[in-house]
Amino acid sequence: MLQKLPKSFLYLLGIVFFVNLLQAHFTELIFDEAYYWYYAKDLAWGYFDHPPMVALLIKISSFFFDGELGVRFMSCIISAGTYMVLWAMIDAEKNKEYVVHFFILTFSMTLLNAYGFLTLPDTPLLFFTALFLLIYKKFIKTPSFVTALLLGVVMAALMYSKYHAVLVILFVLLSNLKLLINKYAWLAAIMALLCYTPHFLWLYEHDFVSFRYHLYERPNAAYDFSKYTLSFLLNLVAIFGLTFPWIYKSLFKTMAFDLFTKALLYLAYGVLIFFFISSFNRRVQAQWIIVISIPLVVLVFNYMLKEESTRKWVFRTGIATIAVLFFLRIGLIYEHLFPIYYETHGNKHWVAKVEALAENNPVVFENSYRFAPMYEFYSGKPAISLNNVHYRKNQYSIDSSEFTVQHKKVLYVSQNIFERKLSYSRTNGEIFYAKFIENFESYRKLTCILEKEEVENPYGKTLNLKIFNPYDSDIALERIKFGAAFLNAHKELRDIQRIAEIRPESNILALKSNDTTLFTFKLPKPEMEDPKYFRLGISENGLPYGLNGANIKIE
């Protein structure tokens, strides 16, 4: 591929790569990157929120560099690869005359620009989407055994990057339903499933925790046009910057004259329509639609080559957008140049404050998968997130991090501590409080199991409950309390009530190790009106109620 690339392309790609390396080195991590760095400390076939590709990239990066570049190096590499694959998808004879236009088009796409150095699941998603489309282009021209195998491997890589990848595969399939009777297409599908089997096994072993969270347990809110649909429409503008009128004009003007162009159009329109419909139910984040950048680079550039007016305006507005993006990228490093506070600002500063307070003891952050890994990254000291009913589950809920702080003196950090002798503030003005716990002990892995997923008018009724204790020691009943968290129709917490009437079926004083104990209890009536769900939680040693039970629907 490198031999076919024009020299001007290689020079510009080298400049972009070098700029991204500098940015990656000098910019502090964002919270999600720190969280994925935490993933990479223990490579696995899956994680609570995402498949494992992002963790693998960070692990590989860490072999070459320390610090921020040790998180982002591979993102810079595969971002350069994305540019090369996109260029390889363009067949126009005049494309070599407009290399500069190509880079202005791609570099002015805001999130495509950002993912040139940030390490997020969308970074490999973009690369493997481009590679999938390039191989698919060759596949529809000359299907073969080798091409089918390559296509299958890349489809698996797509799905290992982010679950949204299923939309990429689905809309390409819908653009060419004859694939359903193509033996090579079936070979590709089988290959993809074989490669993805380790992740399926991980999901099975972890009770499909990722799917359950994303599809059923994730809190939502009542529909709000400005927060949902209008926000989605604004994101359609934001991801392309000032070039957006000509981006969408090129999309609307392009006709499907061959199967590959048809696939690009189906992918772009399919993602847009899917998330537009989704915006009537939930808030659509900008990065969820970023994958349309890949087909649109090809469609828009091909249209630019034919339509001089579009070419001129994309060039002009693209340069203006890049100028703004450069200013913002500098502001990511130098806080006083950025128009607002951003999460790359001041992390080393607040981490140093907490590290001084902790006095070499582990830190337990209440309800923050964001702060715990950021603290651990910049301090090199252990930290965990302890999640309760006011928050949600995350990777810290399913891994062994809880065991690293058991029976140790820890600094407990929260915004909800009444003993406010210790505190620190962040750059954005947030104040956090801390206290020492001399002998920390938590039981967040205790599992409350109700046989039914729905209970009709449960108040006052005697309900059966199983509690599984996965720990290696018995847990005295006197050390734990039970509570019920009540949620509205959007699974937002609205009320918490202690469960006073709960009894073990036999005369026991402890939850036996690695065993299940049977209880009966009566659900207290909440103060909130018309709750739609409840979930059970356990408070140990005076800590807030945990996320020990699933959401149970109230009929």
pLDDT digits (tens, 9 = 90+) for 352-408: 999 999 999 999 999 999 999 999 999 999 999 999 999 999 999 999 999 999 999
Burial class (CB in 10 A: 0-12, 13-18, 19+), 192: buried
Position 249 confidence tier, pLDDT thresholds 50, 70, 90: very high
Helix (H) or strand (E) holding 212: helix 209-212
Looking at residue 418, its pLDDT comes to: 81
* Cα 350-352-358 angle, rounded to 5 deg: 105
Q: Are 262 and 316 in contact (CB under 8 A)?
A: no
Looking at residue 419, its pLDDT comes to: 79
Identity of the amino acid at 441: E
Looking at residue 538, its pLDDT comes to: 97
CA nearest 435: which of 415, 411, 414?
Answer: 411
Identity of the amino acid at 352: A
Strand partners, 466: 449, 518
Mean pLDDT value of segment 79-106 = 92
pTM: 0.93
Position 96 confidence tier, pLDDT thresholds 50, 70, 90: confident
- Indicate if the pLDDT at residue 2 is higher than 60: no
Looking at residue 3, its pLDDT comes to: 55
- Indicate if the pLDDT at residue 243 is higher than 90: yes
130-142 pLDDT, tens digit per residue, is 999 999 999 999 9
> Which residues 6+ apart lie within 8 Å of 72 measured at CB?
24, 33, 61, 117, 118, 119
> Which residues 6+ apart lie within 8 Å of 96 measured at CB?
6
Residue 459's alpha-carbon distances to 171, 422, 453, 491, 531, in angstroms, are: 47, 42, 16, 19, 12
Burial class (CB in 10 A: 0-12, 13-18, 19+), 215: exposed
> Which residues 6+ apart lie within 8 Å of 289 measured at CB?
232, 235, 236, 239, 271, 272, 275
Identity of the amino acid at 248: Y
> What SS3 state is found at 365?
strand
Looking at residue 420, its pLDDT comes to: 80
Looking at residue 1, its pLDDT comes to: 56
